[in-house]
Amino acid sequence: MANGNMNQIMKQAQAMQRKLAAAQEELARTDVEGVAGGGMVRVTVAGGGGEVRSIVIDPAAVDPDDVEMLADMVTAAVNEALRSAKQLEEEKLGGLTAGLGLPPGIV
C-alpha cells in the first residue's frame, strides 16, 4: 500500500513539474513595461526573470543640462517594469507552488 502512495506522489510531482515548466516558458515569452516621465521613458522586461529587453527614450527627454532627471526616469521605469514582472510571476506561479512550502524565489 505504501508503494502505491509513493507512486501517486511521484506522478503528482511530475505533473506539477510539467505545469511549472509550462508557466515559466509562458512568462519568458511575456513582456511587461514600465513607463516614467509621462511616457518619455519606456522599459520592457521579460515577465520571468526580469531581463531588460529594451529601453526607449523620447528625444524630448534628453536635456544635456539635466542628465540627472533622465537617469531618474530610466531608474523609475526599470523599477516599475521589474515590479510588474515580479507581480506577473507571482500570479502565474503562486497558485502552482502554494502548497509546496518553498521559500520565495526558489521556483
- Whether the pLDDT of residue 80 is over 90: the answer is yes
Please report the domains of the chain, with CATH numbers, ordered by start residue.
2-98 (3.30.1310.10)
Report the predicted TM-score, pTM, of the whole model to 2 decimal places. 0.71
Between 53 and 20, the higher pLDDT residue:
53
Band the pLDDT of 72: cuts 50, 70, 90. Answer: very high
Cross-strand bridge partners of residue 41: 36, 57
Q: Could you tell me where the DSSP H helices lie in 30-56?
A: none
CA distance 71 to 94: 33
Sheet of 52-57, strands arranged across = 31-36, 41-46, 52-57
Segment 63-76 mean pLDDT: 95
